[in-house]
Amino acid sequence: MEVPTTRPTDDTRTASSNDGDINEHVLELIFSLSKSKDEKLKEILRDLTLQCSSSPDLCILLIREHIVEKITILWRNSDDQEIKNLCVQVLHSIGIMNEKSVNLCAQNNLTLALIGLVQSEEQTIMEAGTTELCSLLEKKERNEEDIISIEMILGLSLGILHQQRPPNKSSEEQRWKNKICSAIKISTSALKGGFKSEQLFNIKDIINKFIENDDEDIDIIAAQSAFIAIWKKIIPQNSNKKSNDQLSKENQDLKSELQIINKSSIWQLIAKVLSLKLEGNEIEQQQIIQRQEEVGNLLIPLFISFDEITMNKAIKSGIIEALLNILNTRDLNLIKDTFITAFETPTVYSSNNNILMYYFNLHPYPVLLRLFNHPNVAVVHGSIIAINNILTSGITSQISQPHQHSELMLECDGINKIFALFQQTEIEETKNQAAICIGRLFKSREIENRQMRSEIIAHLKTMINNDNQFEKNESRFSLKYLAQNAVNRAEIEADGFIIPEPNAD
């Protein structure tokens, strides 16, 4: 559902340009929420979405008037799918007012919208989202989809708790503390809700480290204490009747049980959702796509925060194969940018060459090259990023040796397709990625196509002082790779150009 771009034209009062009038108008909308029904209620929700999209200050005003709580209750109590969608749009609009929050909007997924609020850099918005997300987690009733969402939420919390404290007393440190408290509160609510997860053991280990380090922040101490208190109610702790060895064995047995639960269900459930075939009528197919998009949106920030062990566990469940199958078999118009972003994110945030080799062994190049024809430039850009990162696994340590994937790319006409993308795209970042790809693929090999050789080398030379550190360094590496061939080197040095050393500045 699209966020409305024009204000409703019925009897809902239109705000003037005066800030006081706008605030009064917004307060009237909030007051009218609980009294309105059907079309009038939908109109108010559309207007609230528009107001939230227009001003961060209005978002703060709405938060202070408990808009998140009111919208959440409205979402829970409504059976009207459009009203549920509009509720999520209001929360989403509040979340995206901060440019650092993650875009996790899904049409009717309240959990995703609340996660967007929790990830806001604005403390008031983050706290409101945390409160309502905790309330959802403490519900005892849940279905298979809820289990997937909660496991991912805990993964996000674990990622936050792994973040290092900023080195100096600053606003950055305060934001870090706020996020730490939020993550602990969310984890505590999952415990209260009776949720069992191996990740809760990992979260407890990190919280114990906070305690050992004698953190003096009162809010962090309070959050830690609440978590430990709930933990002790769940895990056997009666030391008067049981020895330390007995307690340790019980803890280990429970942890092993949860490891089995996680291994056999959580990641496989995610892969199962992503593996669903598009069957049924048009409405049923759209529901499948929407659910898969929701799961993909949750995977993206998780992949960013995962350590290598958890990343490997997630990948081995079949999630990446399922995403690749979507990219390979769906009509281009049915492929959302979420799917390619979820697919390529591990290639960006993992430094483990084994993961890149895993991707390569899936034979992804023909699938990714197919996406160059996608009408959405975000999908095209994600595809070239994935190709570029997977190509890294084929670069040998000896600079004089050719790239190991170049023949495979020739077989699927990949080099010509990448060059065509380079020439046609109007997105500078996509053009840069394409140039780097070709520079890598022609490592120690002549670019025989004169036009390609001239244009790619010229463009790489313009990138050597790029503000983007990755592109700056990779352009220099690419030029060095190309310079191992005499014909390429002559083109590079024709105007007296000297290749700067990577990471030299």
pLDDT (tens digit per residue) in 124-183: 778 888 888 888 788 766 666 667 777 778 877 887 887 777 776 667 778 888 888 888
pTM of the model: 0.62
With CA atoms as reference, report the closest residue to 198 among 261, 131, 129, 122.
261
The helix-helix angle for 144-161 and 110-118 (nearest 10°) equals: 10
* Position 8 in a domain: yes
- Residue that is last in its domain, among 116, 137, 158: 137
In a domain, 225, yes or no: no
What are the φ/ψ torsions at residue 122 (nearest 5 degrees)? -85, 120
pLDDT of the chain along its 505 residues, tens only? 333 333 233 333 333 344 556 677 777 777 777 677 778 888 888 888 887 777 777 777 777 777 887 888 888 777 787 888 788 778 777 765 444 444 444 444 677 777 777 777 777 778 888 888 888 788 766 666 667 777 778 877 887 887 777 776 667 778 888 888 888 888 888 888 877 777 788 888 888 777 666 556 667 777 787 788 778 777 654 444 444 554 455 455 444 444 443 444 467 777 888 999 998 888 888 888 888 887 887 777 667 766 677 677 777 788 999 999 999 999 999 999 999 999 999 888 777 788 899 999 999 999 999 999 999 999 999 999 999 999 998 888 888 899 999 999 999 999 999 999 999 999 999 999 999 999 999 999 999 999 999 999 999 999 988 888 888 899 999 999 999 999 999 999 988 889 888 766 6
CA distance 380 to 337: 9
Is residue 441 assigned to a domain?
yes
Backbone phi and psi for residue 499, each to the nearest 5 degrees, phi listed first: -75, 120
For residues 405 and 360, the answer to whether their CB atoms sit within 8 Å is yes
As a whole number of Å, the end-to-end CA separation of the chain is 46
Q: List the domain range (segments joined by +) for residue 442.
A: 395-505
Q: What is the DSSP letter of 424?
A: H
Q: What's the CATH number where 73 sits? A: 1.25.10
**414 residue type, one letter:** G
Count other C-beta atoms under 10 Å from residue 441's C-beta. Answer: 26
- CA separation for the pair 49, 64 (Å, rounded): 16
Residue with tokens 């609020």, as numbered in its chain = 117
Counting every residue, how long is the chain? 505
Residue 341 and residue 300 in contact, taking contact as beta carbons nearer than 8 Å: yes
Does 434 map to a domain?
A: yes
Within-domain flag for 30: yes
pLDDT (tens digit per residue) in 397-442: 888 899 999 999 999 999 999 999 999 999 999 999 999 999 999 9
- Is residue 93 in a domain? yes
The count of structural domains within the chain is 2
| Residues whose CB falls within 8 Å of the CB of residue 276, separated by 6 or more in sequence, listed in order | 288, 291, 292
Residue 267, classed as helix, strand or coil, is: helix
| Final residue in a domain of this structure, among 137, 154, 189 | 137
What one-character DSSP code corresponds to residue 449?
Answer: S
Which residue type sits at 221? I
pLDDT at 141: 65
Closest CA to 115 of 268, 305, 266, 282: 305
- Integer Cα distance of 155 and 95 in angstroms: 20
Instruction: Tell me the torsion sign for CA atoms 269, 270, 273, 274.
Output: negative
Residue 187 near residue 305 (C-beta atoms within 8 A): no
Contacts of 475 (CB under 8 A, 6+ apart): 432, 435, 436, 439, 460, 461, 463, 464, 466
The secondary structure of residue 164, as a DSSP letter, is: P
Q: Is the dihedral of CA 216, 217, 222, 228 positive or negative?
A: negative
Residue 483 CA to residue 481 CA, distance in Å, equals 5
206: region left, alpha or beta (phi > 0 left; psi from -120 to 50 alpha): alpha
Where is the domain boundary, 106, 137, 168?
A: 137
Residue 18 covered by a domain: yes
Distance CA 385, CA 380 (A): 9
- Is 363 domain-assigned? no
Closest CA to 66 of 35, 86, 91, 41: 91
Residues 149, 113, 8, CA angle at the centre, nearest 5°? 150
